[in-house]
Amino acid sequence: MSLAPGSFAWLLAHDLRLSWRRFRAVFRKLSLLSTFCIILTAEIVFHLMAIPAASWFGELEAASDPSAYHAALIGGLLIVLSWMTAQALTGSTRALHARGTSCLPRRSRRATSSRHVR
């Protein structure tokens, strides 16, 4: 079954394929076992870094005044959501420009041409 070019499923599959290639290119010289060990080590380190943050959030949540907890939670959410948006935009741009826009359906030349945007 072939996915329709430009559809959401096609963009998702294309983005995953590009991400996998980019990921494997970073660890090109390492074996699959070495790559797995690096990923596992990074996962452990990130969890160890998150333990103090989680305990701090737990103390803020247990406090009688929840305003500090809400402020920290909102600040964290804003940072994470802005980072996720930036990553999504970067990923979709890479997916669209990986092979050029020639593989996308051309319904309207005006819609796909950047020369018309000023």
Residue 20 · residue 104 · CB < 8 Å: no
At residue 7, the pLDDT reads: 87
pLDDT higher than 90, residue 117: no
Residue that is written with structure tokens 């020369």 in the block: 115
At residue 49, the pLDDT reads: 93
How many angstroms separate the CA atoms of 4 and 118, rounded?
30
Reduced to 3 states (helix: H, G, I; strand: E, B; else coil), residue 76 is helix
More confident residue, 111 or 37: 37
How many angstroms separate the CA atoms of 97 and 74, rounded?
34
Reduced to 3 states (helix: H, G, I; strand: E, B; else coil), residue 106 is coil
pTM of the model: 0.51
pLDDT digit string, tens, across residues 65-115: 888 888 888 998 999 999 999 988 987 787 777 666 555 555 555 555 555
pLDDT digit string, tens, across residues 91-102: 778 777 766 655
Angle, helix 8-26 to helix 67-97, in steps of 10 degrees: 90
At residue 3, the pLDDT reads: 83
Q: Output phi, psi for 46, to 5 deg.
A: -65, -35
